[in-house]
């Protein structure tokens, strides 16, 4: 991105010499000397944003008053919600969210040609890296063939997408693709792409140093904040605008300080710590805020643990969880193979410009909370939300309560304890009374002819997966040591447990092999299945057919345990209803016992070769054992070797052929990539926002409706609207792949919107899945109802509860909503990214005021809704909403319009942010021949 120099901030430009390097930079202390304000007490995370203002101050997009507002933020006690224009240094994508983003860019090239503009204007101005990590699925597991067979199936399923991405790599400047089988985007970013301090040439050709910043099309982009790189997830729509030069409009955030003290105790892991942090911050309420970690505890916290905490910022609701630069940051950069000159620059720049965490670091925060890490105990979270923290010794009890509540149709927390009783190892299978008085029996026969009985709580998936924990060598080495000790005692996974190991990068395999631990993991079923997001995003693959049949025939509550960051309903597997997050070592332990009803903190996991009970403490490694192996096997050379040819890919990737055309030749028969309708028929004209008149309700939804509920990523059946669409096009169910893989086809994604198998529309009684009432009052799919209402020219609205749109950053949750004809979403509160995505697609978010909720208003979904005051709207204005009830009565309530900034009004007037960008680019003159 070209660096501009404002008249006032030119005074803040300084030169820094480090070794043989000499670079310019924008000095925050110099800004104070220039009279722009005292910034010494700002948190480091906010100083990164301030530096961005200094560098891009032009008197227009960024003004001197914007810069001064940061000094006022400190004097006002950590609050000054001024609108600013922020420009990140780069953009990170993964293929599930990246494919639709590149589809949009390709469609914008077609659109700008139709508007008489230059297609070359549709080109990233900032560096963009897309990592293909979401497409590998665990079809094969538990054997040495698993990795290669899963890779082969990945290419079979996704070749259309890979041809398209290779075209994009050729067609667009500043756009690189990291091929399949390399790793997870956030781990690749942390271990290789991120630099902590970035450098680039300005318009005069002089090298300028500045903080490494980014936005990503995945909510867990936040992981890199562990390395003091400010980044967060945005929808693909917002990312596309950013890469095309559009600044991100945002309010100066509040920053919550999280003080860490003490040190972790023996027997605990970074995962245990982060699960407690998630619980505390969710309870605190940090949606839309930065969280910055500080305190003496950071001196005892490896960067791998910091990255684990930063990764789960979406789970605690924050924009990011930031760790300032300190000696541990420098150690990590050097240890992961970064260029030595860059490492020296990071340290010198941080100390020179006020980003270095000193022993007395204690800035102004909006609010604070504190945790002594010495109080952390082993824990898991679940069965439906990451913030549902459970100490390990209470896990079986909590599961019993959950089952009791589920069977009685009540909130599990209100029910008495229900637990298995048994002696020795895993309890004997027993019949479980169901709510109909019958017994739940889950007998199945495996391929060896052995009979087993499943029951509520049987663990059918145990997966070491996800960037959250596989980026952390301490927990990965720990898992390997648990496997080694278990194998030595003769323990192995239970036969009904589908085990898998999907590391976030090839470096993990390198150090597991170097430590001779992979063979131990293999011995108990944790064979390598691929490098990428698997179970964590629903790519767990099918369960063995007899197991799936037993679960569904007898309505059993099967469970999964995974080392991931998400466990929302319907996400992990359609056969699994209770999902738990745990550290990799605990995932191994749960695979050995195969049952959530067992208290693994005190009951035996099984018996050794001599028939003696084996307890968790018998196979748990010490911190010294783990640290010694990490020191020995996790080397700078391993990182340098594995990332030497990161963009090259294997022979399969190199063999993918594509065209050199400037615009994409959309294949008419493709069921993966289609030209979306957003820009077709578009003109240069915009129109004022219109009031919403006579809208009907498409869905009436509850609290914590996640983007997984709105736009699921996993598999779907042939009976769904998306499945019927593919069947009509002669695609067999075996080739359906997943919603996530088909995000380049709007026809699939429209049909998959609000189609999660666990979503509950309160317009219907006791019905799960993507259903509603159509114009005739009869139950039908949400997609079919939408099409029927749109044919009648009737606008639609969605009602929701608290934390609407929590979870992943997926833009299709907003795109699908818009394409279904929804003009407004009315909820009690919104998660940050989804609110922004809705605005970016021209859908207006509204929040209830005055204590009103869908429940207090007695809404049934039969109402007709009109919202006025939109034709002269201002940011965050309150507007009247008239609700006409079926009995003829009307009630007018006040809604808060969550169009938060002035530029967002322009986005809505244009029909969305991409339309806004496209029209502006079309106005620019054609490039000279």
Among 349, 375, 401, residue at a domain's last position: 375
Q: Is the pLDDT of residue 834 over 80?
A: yes
Among 735, 752, 769, residue at a domain's last position: 752
pLDDT at residue number 431: 45
pLDDT at residue number 923: 86
Same domain, 246 and 326: yes
The answer as to whether 79 is a domain residue is no
- Between vectors from CA 546 to CA 587 and to CA 737, what angle results, nearest 5°? 75
CA–CA distance, 564 with 365 (Å, rounded to integer)? 30
Average pLDDT over residues 856-862: 97
Same domain, 791 and 698: yes
**Long-range CB contacts (< 8 A, 24+ apart) of 58-61?**
58/4, 58/6, 59/6, 59/7, 61/85, 61/247
pLDDT at residue number 422: 29
Q: Is the pLDDT of residue 430 over 90?
A: no
The answer as to whether 653 is a domain residue is no
Question: Residue 325, Cβ neighbours under 10 Å: how many?
Answer: 23
Same domain, 346 and 413: no
Average pLDDT over residues 829-856: 94
pLDDT at residue number 352: 96
Q: Is the pLDDT of residue 410 over 60?
A: no
Instruction: Report which of 109, 134, 3, 120 is spatially closest to residue 58, judged by C-alpha positions.
Output: 3
Read off the pLDDT band of 817 (50, 70, 90): very high
Strands 175-178, 197-201: parallel, antiparallel or unpaired by DSSP?
A: unpaired
3-state secondary structure of 356: strand
Phi and psi of 651, rounded to 5°? -60, -35
Same domain, 356 and 320: yes
3-state secondary structure of 464: strand
Q: Which residues pair with 799 in a beta bridge?
A: 700, 826
Residue 625: give its domain's CATH number: 3.30.499.10
Neighbouring residues of 900: CB distance < 8 A, sequence distance ≥ 6: 251, 835, 839, 875, 876
For the chain, what is the largest distance between any 2 Cα atoms, rounded to a whole number of angstroms? 83
Q: What would the two tokens of residue 127 be?
A: 């560096």
The answer as to whether 331 is a domain residue is yes
- Share in percent of the chain as helix, strand, coil (round to 5): 35, 20, 45
Q: Which helix (H) or strand (E) holds 572?
A: none
Q: What would the two tokens of residue 915 be?
A: 């339309």
Contact 790, 784 (CB under 8 A): no
The answer as to whether 563 is a domain residue is yes
Same domain, 145 and 268: yes
Residue 829: give its domain's CATH number: 3.20.19.10
CA–CA distance, 374 with 263 (Å, rounded to integer)? 5
Q: Is the pLDDT of residue 141 over 50?
A: yes
CA–CA distance, 581 with 389 (Å, rounded to integer)? 9
Q: Is the pLDDT of residue 741 over 90?
A: no
Q: Is the pLDDT of residue 879 over 70?
A: yes
pLDDT at residue number 537: 67
Q: What would the two tokens of residue 145 be?
A: 């063939």
Same domain, 302 and 431: no
Read off the pLDDT band of 274 (50, 70, 90): very high
Same domain, 234 and 137: yes
What's 183's DSSP letter?
B
Same domain, 697 and 838: yes
Same domain, 396 and 344: no
Cα dist. 922→246, 810, 928 in Å? Answer: 14, 27, 15
The answer as to whether 143 is a domain residue is yes
Question: Residue 387, Cβ neighbours under 10 Å: how many?
Answer: 20
Q: How many domains does the chain divide into?
A: 4
HSE-CB of 926 using CA atoms within 13 angstroms: 9
User: What average pLDDT is seen over the chain?
Assistant: 89
What's 189's DSSP letter?
I
The answer as to whether 676 is a domain residue is no
Same domain, 579 and 701: no
- Omega within 30 of 0 (cis) for the link into 383: yes
3-state secondary structure of 842: coil
Read off the pLDDT band of 150 (50, 70, 90): confident
Contact 696, 559 (CB under 8 A): no
Q: Which helix (H) or strand (E) holds 240?
A: helix 236-243
Q: What would the two tokens of residue 723 be?
A: 């499945």
Q: What would the two tokens of residue 733 be?
A: 């169910």
Same domain, 104 and 233: yes
Same domain, 483 and 511: yes
- Between vectors from CA 446 to CA 445 and to CA 447, what angle results, nearest 5°? 125
Best-predicted range by mean pLDDT (432-441, 523-532, 644-653, 891-900): 891-900
pTM for the full predicted model: 0.82
pLDDT at residue number 926: 63
- Between vectors from CA 679 to CA 674 and to CA 684, what angle results, nearest 5°? 165
Dihedral sign for Cα 579, 583, 585, 589, please. Answer: negative
> What does the buried/exposed string (b/e) look like for 533-563 if buried means 16 or more CB atoms within 10 Å of the residue's CB?
bbbbbbbbbebbebbbebbeebebbbbbbbb
CA–CA distance, 14 with 24 (Å, rounded to integer)? 6
The answer as to whether 227 is a domain residue is yes
Cα dist. 107→168, 301, 308, 669, 914 in Å? Answer: 12, 46, 37, 17, 11
pLDDT at residue number 467: 77
pLDDT top residue among 149 and 324:
324
Tens-place pLDDT, residues 684-739: 999 899 999 999 999 999 998 999 899 988 888 999 999 999 999 999 998 898 89
Cα dist. 90→375, 388, 548, 549 in Å? Answer: 39, 34, 44, 47
Among 736, 752, 768, residue at a domain's last position: 752
Contact 99, 743 (CB under 8 A): yes
Average pLDDT over residues 619-638: 94
Lowest mean pLDDT among 62-76, 129-143, 447-461, 634-648: 129-143
Q: Kindly compute the dihedral angle of the four CA atoms of residues 52, 56, 58, 59, in this order, to the nearest 10 degrees.
A: -10
The answer as to whether 541 is a domain residue is yes
pLDDT top residue among 144 and 410:
144
Q: Write out the residue range of the structural domain in which residue 544 sits.
A: 379-638
Which stretches within 471-557 are classed as H helix?
Answer: 473-488, 506-514, 518-523, 545-553
């Amino acid at each position: 991105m070209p660096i501009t120099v404002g008249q006032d901030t030119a005074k803040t430009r300084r030169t820094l010499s480090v070794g043989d390097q000499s670079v310019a930079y924008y000095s925050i202390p110099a800004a104070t000397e220039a009279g722009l304000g005292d910034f010494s007490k700002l948190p480091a995370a906010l100083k990164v944003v301030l530096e961005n203002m200094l560098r891009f101050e032009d008197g227009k997009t960024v003004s001197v008053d914007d810069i001064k507002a940061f000094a006022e933020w400190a004097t006002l006690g950590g609050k000054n919600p001024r609108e600013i224009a922020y420009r990140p240094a780069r953009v990170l994508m993964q293929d599930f969210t990246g494919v639709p983003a590149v589809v949009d860019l390709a469609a914008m090239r077609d659109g700008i040609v139709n508007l008489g503009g230059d297609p070359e204007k549709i080109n990233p101005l900032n560096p963009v890296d897309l990592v293909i990590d979401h497409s590998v699925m665990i079809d094969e597991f538990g054997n040495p063939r698993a990795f290669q067979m899963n890779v082969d199936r990945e290419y079979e399923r996704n070749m259309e997408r890979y041809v398209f991405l290779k075209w994009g790599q050729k067609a667009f400047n500043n756009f690189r693709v990291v091929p399949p089988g390399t790793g997870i985007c956030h781990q690749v970013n942390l271990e290789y792409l991120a630099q902590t301090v970035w450098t680039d040439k300005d318009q005069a050709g002089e090298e300028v140093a500045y903080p490494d910043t980014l936005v990503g099309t995945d909510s867990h982009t936040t992981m890199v904040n562990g390395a003091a790189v400010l980044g967060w997830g945005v929808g693909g729509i917002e990312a596309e605008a950013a890469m095309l030069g559009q600044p991100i409009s945002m309010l100066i955030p509040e920053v919550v300080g999280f003080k860490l003290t003490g040190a972790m105790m023996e027997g605990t892991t970074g995962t245990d710590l982060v699960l407690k942090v998630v619980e505390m911050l969710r309870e605190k309420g940090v949606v839309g805020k930065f969280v910055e970690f500080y305190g003496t505890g950071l001196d005892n916290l490896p960067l791998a643990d910091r990255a684990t905490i930063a990764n789960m910022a979406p789970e605690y609701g924050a924009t990011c969880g930031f760790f300032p630069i300190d000696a541990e940051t420098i150690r990590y950069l050097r240890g992961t193979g970064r260029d030595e000159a860059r490492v020296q620059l990071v340290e010198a720049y941080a100390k020179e410009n006020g980003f270095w965490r000193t022993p007395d670091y204690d800035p102004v925060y909006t609010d604070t909370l504190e945790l002594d890490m010495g109080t952390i105990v082993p824990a898991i979270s679940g069965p439906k939300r990451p913030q549902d923290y459970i100490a390990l010794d209470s896990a079986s009890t909590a599961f019993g309560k959950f089952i009791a509540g589920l069977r009685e149709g009540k909130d599990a927390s209100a029910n008495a304890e229900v637990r298995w009783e048994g002696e020795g190892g895993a309890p004997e299978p027993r019949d479980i009374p169901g709510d109909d008085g019958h017994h739940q029996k889950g007998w199945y026969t495996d391929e060896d002819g052995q009979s087993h009985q499943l029951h509520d709580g049987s663990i059918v998936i145990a997966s070491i997966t996800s960037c959250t924990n596989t980026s952390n060598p301490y927990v990965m080495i720990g898992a390997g040591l648990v496997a080694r000790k278990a194998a030595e005692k003769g323990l192995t996974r239970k036969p009904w447990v589908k085990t898998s190991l999907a590391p976030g990068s090839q470096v993990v395999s390198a150090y597991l092999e170097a430590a001779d631990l992979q063979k131990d993991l293999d011995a108990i079923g944790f064979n390598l299945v691929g490098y990428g997001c698997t179970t964590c995003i629903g790519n767990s693959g099918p369960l063995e057919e007899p197991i799936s049949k037993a679960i569904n025939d007898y309505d059993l509550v099967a469970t999964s345990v995974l080392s991931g960051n998400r466990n929302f309903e319907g996400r992990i597997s359609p056969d699994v209803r209770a999902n738990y997050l745990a550290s990799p070592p605990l995932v191994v332990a749960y695979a050995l016992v195969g049952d959530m009803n067992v208290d693994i903190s005190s009951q035996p996991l099984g018996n050794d070769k001599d028939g003696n009970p084996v307890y968790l403490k018998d196979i748990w490694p010490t911190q010294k054992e783990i640290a010694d192996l990490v020191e020995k096997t996790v080397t700078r050379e391993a990182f340098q070797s594995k990332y030497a040819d990161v963009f090259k890919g294997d022979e399969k990737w190199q063999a993918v052929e594509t065209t050199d055309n400037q615009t994409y030749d959309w294949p008419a028969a493709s069921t993966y990539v289609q030209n979306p309708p957003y820009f077709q028929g578009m003109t240069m004209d915009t129109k004022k926002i219109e009031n919403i008149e006579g809208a009907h309700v498409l869905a009436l939804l509850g609290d914590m409706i996640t983007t997984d509920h709105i736009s699921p990523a996993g598999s779907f059946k042939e009976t769904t609207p998306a499945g019927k669409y593919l069947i009509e096009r002669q695609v067999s169910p075996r080739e359906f792949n997943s919603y996530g893989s088909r995000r380049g086809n709007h026809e699939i994604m429209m049909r998959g919107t609000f189609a999660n198998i666990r979503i509950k529309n309160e317009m219907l009684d006791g019905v799960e899945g993507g259903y509603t009432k159509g114009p005739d009052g009869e139950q039908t799919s949400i997609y079919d109802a939408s099409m029927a209402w749109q044919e009648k020219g009737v606008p639609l609205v969605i009602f929701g509860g608290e934390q609407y749109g929590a979870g992943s950053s997926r833009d299709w949750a907003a795109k699908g909503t818009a394409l279904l004809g929804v003009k407004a979403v009315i909820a009690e509160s919104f998660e940050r990214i989804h609110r922004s995505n809705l605005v970016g697609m021209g859908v207006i978010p509204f929040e209830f005021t005055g204590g009103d909720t869908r429940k207090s208003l007695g809404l049934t979904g039969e109402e007709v809704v009109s919202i006025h005051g939109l034709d002269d709207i201002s940011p965050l204005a309150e507007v009247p909403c008239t609700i006409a009830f079926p009995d003829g009565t009307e009630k007018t309530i006040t809604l808060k319009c969550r169009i938060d900034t002035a530029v967002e009004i322009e986005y809505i007037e244009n029909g969305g942010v991409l339309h806004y960008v496209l029209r502006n680019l079309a106005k620019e003159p054609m490039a000279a021949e």
